[in-house]
Copies of this chain bind each other. A is one copy, B any other.
């Protein structure tokens, strides 16, 4: 019996995780017997699966909702749901309500289930828990001084997750995701959008705007790697982690210039020429406070894997999102 719940199942990563679980039929070597999808909206139709799938929509921060989810007593809970960085910064109350209170309600609801219930909780944190100034590569013991409310909320949830795990209320694991790139779908107005946009749009025959200099360095992993992080985490023995339950995941550190060079190598000059430089001081200032590079020794030692070059990240996008076809 393996009942998996995904909170945030309608999001990009959540939907890809559902697809992967349905295709695999198992997780960490155990056959999946039930999947519960939750989000603030009803997730789209799931793919074919060998197990039943239930789909719910509610606001996790509303009193009583987390209790309903915990009462189902899933064995593994993926908590991926969050208000994104930009929105949490624009709407202070909403960010804290969803990202902090919603998560705490979930943790509390699990703690209060009687009868020795102790599920595995896999929580997606973010490199936004870190804020500049940074060392050349951020080590696993570097402190969390977020420069956004979103990063603050994630860092607080990490602390709660570690304490609830130490207390034995659940078996938690916090995963600090790199920026997911190439993010499929339409361009959005997020300050980080250009990291994906300068690859995604040119490959689709469209122009992309680059608002920062080519020397800007950032930390990336593909959507496929993200799903791999989540499935790998389910099989991890957490005992050796002690109370240090939050892990910086591996990724690819590269500059925007290196991203563009990789695009040129893979898709040619004509595709790469669809990037238009349009410097934007506001975006440059925001991005200057973001992490650029990590050691991620602990994540690597625990067997988490990401791509080893930005070329590979582009190839994953072409394979998984474009059916292998480039608009050259």
> When the two chains form the complex, which single residue of B141, B144, B152, B167 contacts A160, counting CB atoms closer than 8 Å?
B152
**Nearest CB of chain B from residue A162's CB, rounded to whole Å:** 7
Q: How many copies does the complex hold?
A: 2
Contact A146 B163, beta carbon cutoff 8 Å = yes
Assembled-state Cα–Cα distance A243/B143 (Å): 13
A146, A163, A167, A243 — which one has the most chain B CB atoms within 10 A of its CB? A163
Within 8 A of B (CB), among A260-304: none
Contact B156 A160, beta carbon cutoff 8 Å = yes
**Which residues of chain B have C-beta atoms less than 8 A from A131's C-beta?**
243
Assembled-state Cα–Cα distance A149/B243 (Å): 11
**Which residues of chain B have C-beta atoms less than 8 A from A149's C-beta?**
163, 167
Contact A243 B144, beta carbon cutoff 8 Å = no
**Which residues of chain B have C-beta atoms less than 8 A from A20's C-beta?**
none
**Which residues of chain B have C-beta atoms less than 8 A from A155's C-beta?**
159
**Which residues of chain B have C-beta atoms less than 8 A from A141's C-beta?**
142-143
Contact B243 A145, beta carbon cutoff 8 Å = yes
Within 8 A of B (CB), among A148-197: 149, 152, 155-156, 159-160, 162-163, 166-167
Once A131-B243, A156-B156 are accepted as A-B contacts, the answer to whether A145 and B162 lie under 8 Å apart by CB is yes
Assembled-state Cα–Cα distance A152/B155 (Å): 11
**Nearest CB of chain B from residue A318's CB, rounded to whole Å:** 38
**Which residues of chain B have C-beta atoms less than 8 A from A216's C-beta?**
none
For residue A244, CB closer than 8 A to chain B, the reply is: yes
**Which residues of chain B have C-beta atoms less than 8 A from A163's C-beta?**
146, 149, 152
Q: Which residues of A pack against B, CB within 8 Å?
A: 92, 131, 141-147, 149, 152, 155-156, 159-160, 162-163, 166-167, 243-244
Sample (28) of A-B pairs whose CB atoms are under 8 Å apart: A92-B167, A131-B243, A141-B142, A141-B143, A142-B143, A143-B143, A143-B144, A144-B144, A144-B159, A145-B162, A145-B243, A145-B244, A146-B159, A146-B162, A146-B243, A147-B166, A147-B243, A149-B163, A149-B167, A152-B159, A152-B160, A152-B162, A152-B163, A155-B159, A156-B156, A156-B159, A156-B160, A159-B159
